[in-house]
């Protein structure tokens, strides 16, 4: 079946630094990748939709300059949290749509100290 590999699974960074999260579709081409953020004991909130080769579409309230999304190829999408602050600490999950439906990465736990 379809697999999306997301890494790192956990990252701790200092406040003010940037962190890059990668999502790769291993056995299919992901034309569209979705990025979600999940706060503890809460639902997944859609942050942005990225299409290969074009700019990402961000949801209302999500700062595009802070959460940089790049989808340069059909198998790779990245989310960079720039100048991270403790309030950016969260669980980030990517998802790709394909013929099988939606395949999710295993998530990245970001902790900003």
Distance CA 10, CA 19 (A): 11
By beta-carbon proximity to other proteins, the closer residue of 8 and 16 is 8
What burial letters (b/e) apply to 19-55, b meaning 16+ CB within 10 Å?
A: bebbbbbeebebeebbbbbeeeeeebeebbbbebeee
95 binds other proteins (CB under 8 A): yes
104 binds other proteins (CB under 8 A): yes
29 binds other proteins (CB under 8 A): no
Q: Which spans of this chain sit near other proteins (rule: CB under 8 A)?
A: 6, 31-32, 34, 36, 41-44, 46, 49, 93, 95, 97, 101-107, 109
């Amino acid at each position: 079946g379809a697999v999306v590999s997301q890494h790192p699974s956990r990252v701790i960074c200092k406040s003010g630094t940037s962190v890059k999260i990668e999502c790769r579709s291993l056995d299919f081409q992901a034309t569209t990748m979705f990025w979600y953020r999940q706060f503890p004991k809460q639902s997944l909130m859609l942050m942005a939709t990225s299409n290969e080769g074009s700019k990402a579409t961000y949801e209302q309230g999500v700062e595009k300059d802070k959460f940089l999304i790049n989808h340069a190829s059909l198998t790779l999408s990245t989310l960079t949290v720039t100048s991270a602050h403790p309030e950016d600490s969260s669980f980030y999950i990517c998802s790709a749509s394909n013929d099988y439906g939606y395949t999710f990465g295993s998530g990245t736990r970001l902790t900003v100290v």
